[in-house]
Structure 1
Amino acid sequence: MPTETVYGLAANAEDELAVRRVFAIKGRPATHPLIVHVASAEAMASWVRAVPEEAQRLAAAFWPGPLTLVLPRSARATDAVTGGQDTVALRVPQHPLARAVLEALGGGVAAPSANRFGRVSPTTAEHVRADLGEDVDLVLDGGPCAVGVESTIVDLSQGAPAVLRPGGLAVEAVERVLGRAVPVRTSSTVRVSGSLASHYAPRAGVILCEPAQAAARVEALRAQGQRVGVLGPEGLGLPAGVPLYEVPEEPAGAARVLYTRLREADAHGHDVLVACLPRAEGLGLAVRDRLARAAAPRPPEP
């Protein structure tokens, strides 16, 4: 089903067999927790033991929207969706089709990104079919996702809030509502979706650089005989014949097209993709996070 962030592989969060099928289709480790999507902030209360005041403030400000809250779980949240942890991750999505599904179900939907585990997330129905084929029963086509990267995950289970995954809601916006600095901790004792070192990866190797370094990196790689593509903004001064998969300099625009451009580059069979890092502000923080994980050493193929 579509959300405003990416397409999710959705199953009734209280049907353990359906949830296990999600893990099997994705090839996802069973200890890697899922996000439970619910229809409203009021629905949060039955999934958690308590709703702290800061959770209420964030939910009032940003739900429905690209924010996930991590809180101590109630008995309703089973080990199948929490990865055996004592916390549950909850979100109220904004996309009208996702909201229609949740309201019709009257419960929670576990919905990790609808792609094979560790690969590039889907932002159109066509991406889902290309990845998962007939392994899914139905694809709800809601058009391209408006945000383009996964939700921002804020942990409120340890007392002081912390961002465990930068995403489609700027950290600065979270800080404004809470009235305090909120650290970004991409390594935590609380496991969350998208937190593995290698993730969101295209088939090509990914090398990160600042935009001003791109042309020189491309020249060096081509001298080694590598087939190179570039992910970045216009005006990089690239050598003739080097494909540019253009992303805007503006961070929210970069987030919106990031996964589509990575998939386009994959289709052209590059050995290496030189990826230019956006500014580390707003949604640029999420784009930098996804590119860093795409560039990380990858586990061996099963």
Structure 2
Amino acid sequence: METKRSFIDGVNPEEELINEGAKWLQAGELVAFPTETVYGLGGNALDASACAKIFEAKGRPQDNPLIVHVCDRAMANNLVEVWTPVAELCVQHFWPGPLTLVLPKTVNVPDIVTAGLDNVAIRMPSHLVALRLIEKAGLPIAAPSANLSGKPSPTIGSHVWRDMRGKIPLILDAGACLVGVESTVLDVSGEVPTILRPGGISKEQLEAVLGEVQVDAPTDNQAPRAPGMKYRHYAPRGEMILLSGPHERVVQRLGHEIRRGHARLKKVGVLCSLESAPLLHNWFPDLLFVLGSKDRPEEVASNLFEGLRLCDERGMDLILAEGIAERGLGTAIMNRLQKAAGHRILHI
């Protein structure tokens, strides 16, 4: 299949490009498009055949549910059987935005979207291109991240081009995504709202509005209740180690691990903070990628997947990543780093 990559203005989207994307979606085909979190690979959420193409293009396991994107409440109402009071609060405070709500689904949602579960994951993105595309198509859009399954998520159009070229008819490229990590997935179908996946809305932000919020701890044999819960995700090809602890000790251990990697004839890439970078140059890593300041987690989040992908492009055999404090957005960042490393973590 020939793939067209159309560059679109994220602030004032060109109507003809939105129309083209909408026509492909209405025809049961897939379109990659930007959201404020990462790029999505979208298909008609009401069409089981279109959704099957999403799994095929990504190589995604079919027991991994999809998130459905909507442009307004009326479209959401067609997918959700019961809106809980907590869900209503979330909609008022966090939509449109990087928060996915898990609620009982209607019969309109095909089982392939929910992996056979009774609940649907649904969100309203804040990116103007995404909203206009959904509105013009007149359809809810099932859209996981537009990458090959298990690999780092795409935060710029060129990431999607590398992974999806030849697999889908259209990529709408609006440049870099603002948030850089996926949405928070919050189950609001029960008594206590439960975070199934940390993301762009932090636990602290949710607690300020909802009160008690708990975090799910899935077991290895549990069926995924939301995207990103079961399988290894965001993984570069090389061996990856995450280092966490006091700053000075982490920097010293990074230097030690760089030297060990070189002794094993490995190409070593390092993903580190702005504060650590000057201290690591003398260890001569083959790639030193600065994620951002430890005090600005939004900067780290926006650069994270670019750093992981660059390690692949440069052929790094060993990737060493500096951890960040697990509070606010840092919780989502550490979740992605842990999964990318296959939970291989050195606590210093």
TM-score normalised over the length of structure 2: 0.82
Q: How does 1:55-74 map to 2 (within 5 A)?
A: 55-74=87-106
Select the residue among 290, 294, 315 that pairs with 1:246: 290
Q: Which residue of 2 aligns with 1:291?
A: 337
Paired residues of 2:258 and 2:283 also in contact (CA < 8 A) = no
How many residues get paired? 297
Q: Which residue of 2 aligns with 1:255?
A: 301
Quickly say closer, same or farther: Cα 1:108–1:121, change in 2 above 3 A: same
Following TM superposition, by how much is the alpha carbon of 1:197 offset from its aligned partner in structure 2, in angstroms? 4.2
More strand by share: 2
Paired residues of 1:37 and 1:109 also in contact (CA < 8 A) = yes
Paired residues of 1:251 and 1:281 also in contact (CA < 8 A) = no
Cα distance in 2 between the residues matched to 1:291 and 1:240: 22
Cα distance in 2 between the residues matched to 1:145 and 1:49: 32
Q: Which residue of 2 aligns with 1:194?
A: 228
State whether structure 2 residue 261 is matched by structure 1 residue 221. yes
Select the residue among 20, 45, 60 that pairs with 1:13: 45
Cα distance in 2 between the residues matched to 1:184 and 1:216: 35
Following TM superposition, by how much is the alpha carbon of 1:186 offset from its aligned partner in structure 2, in angstroms? 4.3
Cα distance in 1 between the residues matched to 2:337 and 2:263: 24
Following TM superposition, by how much is the alpha carbon of 1:267 offset from its aligned partner in structure 2, in angstroms? 1.1
Select the residue among 163, 184, 204 that pairs with 2:215: 184
Following TM superposition, by how much is the alpha carbon of 1:224 offset from its aligned partner in structure 2, in angstroms? 2.8
Quickly say closer, same or farther: Cα 1:186–1:199, change in 2 above 3 A: farther
Following TM superposition, by how much is the alpha carbon of 1:219 offset from its aligned partner in structure 2, in angstroms? 2.4
RMSD value, Cα: 1.6
SS in 1 for 2:76: helix
Cα distance in 2 between the residues matched to 1:262 and 1:255: 12
Once the two structures are overlaid, the 10-residue window that deviates more, 144-153 or 97-106, is 97-106
Quickly say closer, same or farther: Cα 1:120–1:81, change in 2 above 3 A: same
Following TM superposition, by how much is the alpha carbon of 1:297 offset from its aligned partner in structure 2, in angstroms? 7.2
Paired residues of 2:47 and 2:110 also in contact (CA < 8 A) = no
Q: How does 1:79-98 map to 2 (within 5 A)?
A: 79-98=111-130
SS in 1 for 2:166: helix
Cα distance in 2 between the residues matched to 1:245 and 1:187: 32
Larger radius of gyration: 2
Paired residues of 1:38 and 1:109 also in contact (CA < 8 A) = yes
> Structure 2, unaligned stretches of length 5 or more?
1-32
Select the residue among 298, 306, 311 that pairs with 1:265: 311
Paired residues of 2:255 and 2:283 also in contact (CA < 8 A) = no
TM-score normalised over the length of structure 1: 0.94
Q: Which residue of 1 aligns with 2:274?
A: 234
Following TM superposition, by how much is the alpha carbon of 1:262 offset from its aligned partner in structure 2, in angstroms? 0.9
Following TM superposition, by how much is the alpha carbon of 1:257 offset from its aligned partner in structure 2, in angstroms? 0.8
> Structure 1, unaligned stretches of length 5 or more?
none
SS in 1 for 2:41: coil
Following TM superposition, by how much is the alpha carbon of 1:187 offset from its aligned partner in structure 2, in angstroms? 1.3
Paired residues of 1:208 and 1:291 also in contact (CA < 8 A) = yes
Q: How does 1:43-54 map to 2 (within 5 A)?
A: 43-54=75-86
Deviations 1:234-269 (A, max 9, x none): 343223421211111221111111001111121111
Cα distance in 2 between the residues matched to 1:149 and 1:129: 19
Once the two structures are overlaid, the 10-residue window that deviates more, 193-202 or 78-87, is 193-202
